[in-house]
């Protein structure tokens, strides 16, 4: 079960992944050992899946961001093409989608030539790919990997705990825990 304290803890960890448990404890008003145990349980239950560093793509030579819509010619219940797409270097995300296309793929490349090579030599090399449509991002106005745990749309502007998020986390954690 996810309670308000767990929501506070994971909100803090999403914003500051390297924050010591003692500082999290100070912010939520608990003993460090209790917070450490809660974090351990959140990790054990799969609520917290990993910790990572966010990199500036411009400073590591991957300034071009694009979304590739991929139309696949394969059985409906097969995910082989999706797994092949996910294994391609430069592919950041692969989403199986409803609609005209089969997958939406987020990719990063150094420049348009690098994107062209990725499309021809990797995505196009998958035998089940029927066609692709690519949209190049000109400017990113918002980027986050944080989950929306607080509903900021309340009338008083203060935000309220998102019971839908709590319910979804609780439902996912219910199996075998």
Question: pLDDT of 35-68, one tens digit each?
Answer: 999 999 999 999 999 988 889 999 999 999 999 9
Looking up tokens 């996810």, which residue turns up? 2
pLDDT over 70 (residue 175) = no
Contact 63, 138 (CB under 8 A): no
pTM of the model as a whole = 0.77
pLDDT at 52: 87
Give the span between the Cα atoms of 134 and 67, in whole angstroms: 6
What is 4-52+145-173's CATH topology?
Arc Repressor Mutant, subunit A (1.10.10)
Q: Which ranges in the chain are annotated with CATH 3.30.70.920?
A: 57-136
pLDDT over 80 (residue 78) = yes
Of 43-47, 126-130, 162-166, the least confident: 162-166
pLDDT at 171: 47
Q: How many other C-beta atoms are found inside a 10 Å radius of the C-beta of residue 59?
A: 8
Give the span between the Cα atoms of 28 and 5, in whole angstroms: 7
Mean pLDDT across 75-98: 93
Q: Which ranges in the chain are annotated with CATH 1.10.10.10?
A: 4-52+145-173
What is 57-136's CATH topology?
Alpha-Beta Plaits (3.30.70)
pLDDT over 50 (residue 177) = no
């Amino acid at each position: 079960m996810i309670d308000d304290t767990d929501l506070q803890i994971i909100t803090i960890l999403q914003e500051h992944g390297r924050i010591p448990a003692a500082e999290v404890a100070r912010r939520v008003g608990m003993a460090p050992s209790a917070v450490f145990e809660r974090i351990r349980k959140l990790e054990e239950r799969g609520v917290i899946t990993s910790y990572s560093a966010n990199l500036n793509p411009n400073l590591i030579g991957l300034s071009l961001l694009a979304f590739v819509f991929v139309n696949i010619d394969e059985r409906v219940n097969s995910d082989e093409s999706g797994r092949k797409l996910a294994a391609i270097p430069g592919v950041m995300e692969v989403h199986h989608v409803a609609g005209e296309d089969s997958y939406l793929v987020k990719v990063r490349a150094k420049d348009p030539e690098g994107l062209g090579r990725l499309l021809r030599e990797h995505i196009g090399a998958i035998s089940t790919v029927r066609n692709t449509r690519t949209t190049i991002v000109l400017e990113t106005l918002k980027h986050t990997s944080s989950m929306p745990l607080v509903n900021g749309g309340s009338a008083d502007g203060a935000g309220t705990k998102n019971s839908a998020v709590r319910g979804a986390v609780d439902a996912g954690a219910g199996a075998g825990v």
